[in-house]
Structure 1
Amino acid sequence: MAYGNTDGGTGSAGGTEPEASDSLRTFGAVVHALREHAGLSREEFGKLVGYSKHTIASIEQGRRWPERGFVESAEPALGNTGALRKAAPYLTRQAGLASWFVQWARLEATAISLYTYDCRVIPGLLQTEAYARAISLDVPPLPDPEELEERIAARMARQELLSVNRKPPTAVSFIVEQSVLERHTGGDDVTRELLDHLIELIEGNWNVEFQIMPMRQPHHAGTDGPILLAETPEHRWFAYSEGQQNGRLISDPKEISILQQRYAKLRSQALTPEDSLSLLKRMRGAL
């Protein structure tokens, strides 16, 4: 999932490539020019700096953030011009978010209403650090330590959206499958902390509504997968759809209307907020 939940959006895994920016493309072009001037192929250069030719290609095309240490390894291989060291401080991106999730994250940051249904994982806005770490390490390929910390930090930072101190506070609704909670991702200790976090959040944030879709529900409007909806301050609605290593921002009113209808149906089929909180407490007591 993306750095959203997965970061990418609401799920577990995240992409490794940041949103392309002018600074990334410029940095990549400098790497490309210096490499060619040194008479090195991408494969040859990659061997010198310890990266695959595919990673070198991504950096040169401005699609991948150069990891810590890349500049110091690349400088001597490319003639010690100092160009990369001088350029590196000017690189900009929104760290820890998959490229396809960044547009949604920007909308999310100013939304006055946010609706999330997830059947795979606990939404990123509700995750604890331990839970985020567990799902990030569950889904191949494994992130390197720096990427993992960026991913978790980005996810935790997004949770400011739930604060009652925002002006105005965002009206937030979550619907989560009971099976996601019963999975005990990361083990009992991680689940115990997650349940404590959810209970505290729900009881302390009057702007957050949390509902559980029970294990047994003969009628279910969410069988097509997760739903994310956001309302802007101008009262325009957008939606986001996320899959394996990709995501799509939806602005078409007809598509959004369909998703709103499904979300409304899911709300009526899930446990009430009161019953959902009671179930969370029972689950916590059973651990």
Structure 2
Amino acid sequence: MSTAAEILLEEIRQARASRGLNQEEFGRLINYSGTHVSAVETGNRPPTADYVAAIDRALRTGGMFGRLLRRLSELDAEPVWLREWITFEDQARALRWYEPAFVPGLLQTEEYARRILRVAGVFTAEQVEQRVRSRLARQAVLTRDDPPHLVVVLDEAVLRRTVDDDRELMREQLDHLATGADHPAVQVHVVPADAGLYQGLQGGIILATLPDDTVLGHIDNQVRAQIVSGSAEIVRLQHTWEAILSAALPRRPSLDLIKEAAKSWT
């Protein structure tokens, strides 16, 4: 059974071919490189809202592909922005991840992921399980032969905040986090409670560095998450990241703090 993305890509390929255009020619028409067009059509790069909007403008479709993208995305388990980000996450050679509220998804246990998704209060039981499966599948990026270099910064409150008042759950999660922090491709830093106010407390950010050194950002808020690609915005996010990292403990003291917090939940 085809996914929503596959259905959309087939329609885009048909639209290009029906006009007798190769990928380079199509790219010039929509102001994207032929390489980008090829990556989208082969499924190596997601068809973003901006990309399909460029097609709609160039082909004068009246917004048909944009509407198709929005409607078909409802058929997939994950929203468009998340499926797009998962693709970038999988391609990244480096990930810088700051989280003030929860353990990052790539380092979560199954039950911790399930509980915090339930707490959100916006998903059905079936949707929660779909997202748990998706989150666990994404963790495979850290066990492949060429994992990205993952640098995580957590606020100490993440280590001290209980989930459903379940002490055993927290101990298991922090033990798992400590194990992950010992992975050669992973660095985990903790901003200690006595750091006071520092940049970044407004919300989590992720910076993904792709193989061509392009840097993309992911920011989250109470309404929705979004992908950031504008150069000025990326520079600002990188400055914020550096300020956050400078407030954090070095790697070894951070690991000691994680282990101490894990013991406190026993």
Any unmatched runs of 5+ in structure 2?
11-69
Listed one character per residue, the Cα deviations across residues 141-168 of structure 1 (whole Å, up to 9, x for unaligned) are 3423x322211010001111222x432x
What residue number does 2:32 align with?
Answer: none
TM-aligned CA deviation for residue 63 of structure 1: 4.4
Listed one character per residue, the Cα deviations across residues 111-139 of structure 1 (whole Å, up to 9, x for unaligned) are 00100101121111111111011111112
Structure 1 or 2: larger helix share?
Answer: 2
- 1:152 matches 2:132: yes
For 1:183, which of 153, 161, 164 is the aligned residue?
A: 161
The secondary structure found in structure 2 opposite 1:248 is strand
Instruction: Identify which range, 172-181 or 244-253, moves more after superposition.
Output: 244-253
> How does 1:1-287 map onto structure 2 within 5 Å?
21=5, 23=7, 61-65=71-75, 93=76, 95=77, 97-144=78-125, 146-163=126-143, 165-167=144-146, 169-186=147-164, 187-203=166-182, 205-286=183-264, 287=266
The secondary structure found in structure 1 opposite 2:194 is coil
Structure 2-normalised TM-score? 0.70
Instruction: Identify which range, 148-157 or 214-223, moves more after superposition.
Output: 214-223
Distance 2:262 2:201 in 1: 27
TM-aligned CA deviation for residue 200 of structure 1: 1.3
Q: 1:22 to 1:277 in 2, by over 3 A?
A: closer
TM-aligned CA deviation for residue 189 of structure 1: 1.3
Would you say the 8 A contact 1:20–1:99 is kept in 2? no
Q: Which runs of 4+ in 1 moved over 4 A?
A: none
Any unmatched runs of 5+ in structure 1?
1-18, 27-59, 66-92
Listed one character per residue, the Cα deviations across residues 159-184 of structure 1 (whole Å, up to 9, x for unaligned) are 11222x432x3111001111122111
Structure 1-normalised TM-score? 0.65
Q: Which amino acid aligns with 1:109?
A: D
The secondary structure found in structure 2 opposite 1:221 is coil
Aligned length: 204
Q: Which amino acid aligns with 2:180?
A: L
What residue number does 1:85 align with?
Answer: none
TM-aligned CA deviation for residue 22 of structure 1: 6.1
Identity among equivalent positions (%) equals 29
